[in-house]
């Protein structure tokens, strides 16, 4: 079993050694054999007050010129003493990726693995340092599991620094240096595996169903109908989600970054054309396009191109085209209209991301999210060269991503089932006497809350064709596959809230304007 590695990062004199002294000596009762490796020495020296602590100091010059020597020294130390954990005080001006490469050396790969990364920051000078230290400090913050702040005297300063840190690593926990009990839980608490979390959620929902069923049936709520619709949505979505997850993992594991940089079109226009063609060729729905979308962003594909792919694919893929054709009894006008509006809307949504790029990172893991695997480990995909190693990483990626995204799919599907059974009547009543603009908005909102699979939403749209004008039906068919409740929840597993909100509002606005203008001017 690999030895867990805890990394402490931060700029010079941020208080890394002080933090280690206080934390390790405060919890020396844990009775563990700790190996402390210091890649930087400041004013304070590490003081291991208990006998089970061994220290190794590595000068920056050795790190830069003879990394192989460091690997040999670490390996020999581990062979001499079977350590329970390794603590690394990383150099504040050296990129985190160099430590990652060091620990992924063939001699160390099986011996140790990064468990947690904590960044120590001085509240008095972090803003100045971020502007003067290049990419090293932002990268360290972006790859931290949580951040510990020193010299934060006021609530105003704390909030300002929290906004600054969250800009680099959205959602990262922020603690004050004296909160040792909470830090202890964060450092040594075990993180639940995505499979376990998924199973716990399923068990909890099942228990809630059996407990609440008698009460709900007494209130004349059609529980069985809701459950049947919920299971129907899940059964429709899971195969496509699995396809998307496998394709996403294959992109991350088997396609090198260098290949994408060489082969992918350099211009945004050509990239969008490739994205549209990919949408026509891939028989996947919206559930599958989101994992692929994240992989494309992580692999460095321009955001406008990746967004175009994600929004176009569930509207124009072959399965959707065929299902729309049969649902509307061979009406090619509706099929062509759906394809046309889907492509135009997707391109416009993508272009907005190019002309007005989102501020900060769109990925929830921070600006340097590509250094981390989607399964949460710190493996460097590029360093794994054997097929066996890549196959193992592919399986691990697929499993973690499927169950990680799957829990959001389950929650979104349940909410959608409630609306399908109990809320559809509200939308049809709101349509009475409404004009074209209101009708389009009603149907687009209905598409969002019903969260239908894009491969079968045309059937529902056809059933509503006698109650809503064709413009509203087209808004339903175009916007629904791009954005709905389950899509938003699935996006939240990998993207920042600000980006998701912007993508939702942009998609809604563009789809509405396109459809309204066309049908208001007498189209179809």
How many whole angstroms from its chain centre is CA 442?
30
- Mind listing the pLDDT tens digit for each residue in 392-435? 778 877 877 787 767 777 877 787 677 767 765 656 565 666 68
User: What pLDDT is stored for residue 216 in this prediction?
Assistant: 77
User: What pLDDT is stored for residue 487 in this prediction?
Assistant: 85
Q: Got the DSSP string for 435-455?
A: -HHHHHHHHHHHHHHH---TT
pLDDT band of 374, cuts 50, 70, 90: very low
Res 311 pLDDT > 90? yes
Report the CATH number of the 1-186 domain. 3.40.50.300
User: What pLDDT is stored for residue 378 in this prediction?
Assistant: 44
Where helices occur in 381-469 by DSSP H, the ranges are 387-422, 424-431, 436-450, 457-463
User: What pLDDT is stored for residue 367 in this prediction?
Assistant: 37
User: What pLDDT is stored for residue 368 in this prediction?
Assistant: 38
User: What pLDDT is stored for residue 226 in this prediction?
Assistant: 84
User: What pLDDT is stored for residue 523 in this prediction?
Assistant: 63
User: What pLDDT is stored for residue 431 in this prediction?
Assistant: 60
- What residue ranges do the domains of the chain occupy? 1-186, 221-519
Indicate the range of 157-161, 368-372, 440-444 predicted with least confidence.
368-372
Are 108 and 74 in contact by the 8 Å Cβ rule? The answer is yes
Res 188 pLDDT > 70? no
User: What pLDDT is stored for residue 345 in this prediction?
Assistant: 96
Output the average pLDDT for the chain: 79
Q: Got the DSSP string for 152-180?
A: --SHHHHHHHHHHHHHHSTT--EEETT-H
- Mind listing the pLDDT tens digit for each residue in 124-138? 788 777 767 677 788
- At a CB cut-off of 8 Å and minimum separation 6, what does 326 contact? none
**Between 348 and 234, residue with greater pLDDT:** 348
Which whole number is the average pLDDT over 381-390?
A: 67
User: What pLDDT is stored for residue 28 in this prediction?
Assistant: 56
Q: Which run of H or E residues covers position 483?
A: none
Specify the long-range contacts of residues 173-182, CB closer than 8 Å, at least 24 apart.
173/145, 173/146, 173/147, 174/146, 174/147, 174/149, 175/146, 175/147, 175/148, 175/149, 176/148, 176/149, 176/152, 177/15, 177/19, 177/120, 177/148, 177/149, 177/150, 180/22, 180/23, 180/26
Could you give the strand order of the β-sheet that contains 3-9, starting from the edge strand earlier in sequence?
53-57, 34-38, 85-89, 3-9, 112-122, 146-150, 174-176
The CA-CA-CA angle for residues 505, 506, 508, to 5°, reads 65
Question: Cα-atom radius of gyration of the chain, to the nearest Å?
Answer: 26
Which whole number is the average pLDDT over 51-69?
A: 82
Beta bridge partners of 87: 6, 36
In angstroms, the CA 465 to CA 328 distance is 10
Q: Which residue, among 419, 456, 461, has the nearest Cα to 237 in the 3D structure?
A: 456
User: What pLDDT is stored for residue 503 in this prediction?
Assistant: 95
pLDDT > 90 fraction of the chain, expressed in percent and rounded: 14
pLDDT > 70 fraction of the chain, expressed in percent and rounded: 81
How many whole angstroms from its chain centre is CA 45?
39
- Mind listing the pLDDT tens digit for each residue in 482-515? 998 888 888 887 788 889 999 999 999 999 999 9
User: What pLDDT is stored for residue 114 in this prediction?
Assistant: 84
Where helices occur in 255-371 by DSSP H, the ranges are 257-263, 268-281, 286-298, 303-316, 318-327, 332-355
**How far apart, in Å, are the Cα atoms of 166 and each of 90, 106, 118, 156, 162?**
21, 34, 14, 15, 6
pTM: 0.61
**Between 142 and 305, residue with greater pLDDT:** 305
Res 379 pLDDT > 60? no
pLDDT band of 372, cuts 50, 70, 90: very low
In angstroms, the CA 106 to CA 113 distance is 12
Are 35 and 86 in contact by the 8 Å Cβ rule? The answer is yes
The CA-CA-CA angle for residues 356, 96, 382, to 5°, reads 80
Indicate the range of 47-56, 98-107, 158-167 predicted with least confidence.
47-56
In angstroms, the CA 293 to CA 401 distance is 13
What's the length of the chain?
524
User: What pLDDT is stored for residue 308 in this prediction?
Assistant: 94
In angstroms, the CA 67 to CA 61 distance is 10
User: What pLDDT is stored for residue 369 in this prediction?
Assistant: 42
pLDDT band of 56, cuts 50, 70, 90: confident
In angstroms, the CA 466 to CA 196 distance is 46
User: What pLDDT is stored for residue 335 in this prediction?
Assistant: 93
- Mind listing the pLDDT tens digit for each residue in 428-487? 565 666 688 988 998 898 889 877 777 778 877 887 787 788 999 999 999 988 998 888
In angstroms, the CA 102 to CA 104 distance is 5
């Amino acid at each position: 079993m690999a030895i867990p590695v805890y990394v402490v990062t931060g700029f010079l004199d941020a208080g890394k050694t002080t933090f280690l002294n206080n934390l390790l000596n405060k919890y020396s009762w844990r009775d563990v054999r700790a190996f402390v490796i210091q890649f930087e020495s400041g004013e304070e020296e590490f003081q291991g007050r208990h006998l089970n602590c061994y220290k190794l100091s590595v000068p920056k010059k050795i790190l830069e010129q003879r990394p192989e020597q460091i690997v040999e020294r670490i390996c020999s130390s581990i062979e001499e003493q079977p350590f329970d954990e390794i603590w690394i005080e990383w150099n504040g001006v050296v990129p985190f990726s160099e430590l990652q490469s060091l620990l992924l050396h063939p001699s160390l790969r099986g011996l140790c693995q990064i468990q947690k990364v904590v960044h120590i920051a001085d509240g008095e000078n972090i803003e100045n340092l971020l502007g003067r230290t290049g990419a090293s400090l932002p990268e360290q913050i972006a790859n931290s599991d949580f951040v510990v702040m020193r010299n934060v005297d006021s609530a105003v300063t704390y909030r300002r620094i929290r906004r600054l840190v969250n800009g680099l690593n959205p959602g990262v926990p922020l603690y004050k240096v004296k909160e040792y009990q909470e830090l202890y839980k964060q450092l040594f608490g075990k993180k639940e595996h995505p499979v376990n979390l998924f199973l716990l959620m399923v068990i909890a929902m099942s228990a809630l169903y059996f407990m609440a069923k008698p009460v709900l049936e007494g209130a004349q709520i059609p529980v069985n109908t809701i459950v049947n619709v919920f299971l129907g949505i899940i059964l429709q979505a899971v195969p496509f989600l699995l396809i998307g997850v496998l394709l996403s993992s294959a992109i991350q594991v088997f396609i090198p970054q260098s290949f994408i940089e060489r082969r992918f079109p350099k211009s945004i226009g050509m990239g969008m054309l490739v994205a549209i063609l990919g949408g026509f060729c891939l028989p996947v729905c919206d559930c599958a396009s989101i994992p692929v979308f994240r992989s494309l962003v992580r692999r460095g594909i321009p955001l406008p191109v990746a967004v175009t792919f994600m929004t176009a694919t569930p509207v124009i893929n072959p399965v959707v085209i065929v299902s729309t054709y049969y649902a509307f009894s061979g009406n090619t006008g509706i099929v062509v209209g759906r394809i046309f509006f889907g492509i135009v809307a997707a391109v416009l949504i993508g272009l907005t991301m190019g002309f007005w790029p989102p501020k900060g990172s769109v990925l929830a893991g921070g600006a340097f999210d590509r250094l981390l695997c989607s399964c949460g480990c710190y493996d460097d995909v590029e360093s794994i060269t054997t097929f066996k190693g890549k196959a193992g990483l592919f399986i691990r990626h697929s499993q973690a991503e499927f169950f990680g995204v799957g829990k959001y799919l389950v929650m979104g599907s349940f909410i959608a089932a409630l609306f399908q059974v109990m809320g559809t009547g509200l939308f049809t009543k709101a349509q009475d006497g409404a004009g074209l603009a209101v009708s389009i908005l009603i149907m687009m909102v209905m598409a969002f809350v019903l969260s239908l699979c894009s491969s079968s939403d045309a059937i529902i749209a056809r059933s509503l064709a006698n109650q809503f004008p064709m413009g509203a039906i087209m808004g339903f068919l175009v916007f629904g596959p791009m954005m709905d409740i389950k899509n938003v929840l699935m996006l939240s597993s990998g993207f920042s809230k600000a980006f998701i909100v912007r993508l939702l509002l942009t998609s809604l606005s563009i789809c509405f304007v396109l459809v309204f203008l066309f049908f208001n001017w007498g189209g179809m």
